[in-house]
Amino acid sequence: MSKRMIAGVSALVVLVAGLLAWIFTAPYLSNQGLGRTPGIIIGGTITPAPDDFTPHNDIPGPLLMKQAGFPSLVIYLSFVGTPDGVITATRPDGGYWGQRVRDRSGDGWLRIGDETYAMTATEITGAERLAMMEQWAAKSGRTLDDAIYEGAEPLRDWEVFFWTPRS
C-alpha cells in the first residue's frame, strides 16, 4: 500500500470514528457542560405514559425531544408537565422542529429523566396558547412580558406545543 492510500484510509477511519462518537454522545453533552449540540440517540427507557405528567416538574433540567421521521435529531426543550400531557414552547422564528409538527405528523418521543415516552405534539393557538405559555413561563420564574434574552420576542409571542401520549 502506498503512503497516500494509508493516509486516505486513516482519514476515513478518523472521520467515521468522529461521526459515531457524535451520534452516541451528543444528546448528553449539555449535561456535561460541553454545550447544547443535538444528537440522534434519545436514550432512556421506553415507558408507558403516566396518567399525570405533573410530578415530572420536579425533575431538574430540560427534556430531550426526538421527532419521528428523517432527519431525526434530538434536541433539548424546557417543559411543564400537566395532568394531561407536556407543554413545550419555541420562539416564533419559523424554527425547524415547530415547522415539522405543522407540516408532518407531530409524533415523537420525550425523555424526561431516564424515562422516554411515545408522544404526539399539537400546536396550540388562541386563548388556550397564552394560558399554557403562562404556565411554561411561570415554571422558570418569568412572565409573559419577559424575553429570554435582550432583543428577543416576549414569551407571549412564542409558539406553544402540547404533547399527549400516543395510543
Report the CATH number at residue 49. Answer: 2.30.110.10
Cell digits of residue 15: 472521520
Same domain flag for 137 and 80: yes
Q: Is residue 58 part of a domain?
A: yes
Task: Indicate if the pLDDT at residue 35 is higher than 80.
Answer: no
Per-residue pLDDT, 132: 95
Q: Cβ distance 106 to 122 under 8 Å?
A: yes
Arithmetic mean of pLDDT over the chain: 85
Q: Is residue 39 part of a domain?
A: no
Same domain flag for 147 and 121: yes
Domains in the chain: how many in total?
2
Peptide bond into 165 cis (omega under 30): no
- What confidence tier does 9 reach under pLDDT thresholds 50, 70, 90? confident
Q: Is residue 90 part of a domain?
A: yes
Same domain flag for 26 and 98: no
Domain that holds residue 26: 3-32
What global pTM score does this model have?
0.77
Q: How far apart are CA 42 and CA 32, in angstroms?
A: 16
Task: Indicate if the pLDDT at residue 27 is higher than 50.
Answer: no
Same domain flag for 21 and 61: no
Same domain flag for 69 and 142: yes
Per-residue pLDDT, 40: 75
Q: Is residue 37 part of a domain?
A: no
Task: Indicate if the pLDDT at residue 28 is higher than 50.
Answer: no
Same domain flag for 76 and 53: yes
40 contacts: CB under 8 Å, gap ≥ 6: 23, 26, 27, 72, 73, 74
Task: Indicate if the pLDDT at residue 22 is higher than 80.
Answer: no
- Using left for φ > 0, alpha for ψ between -120 and 50, and beta otherwise, residue 155 falls in alpha
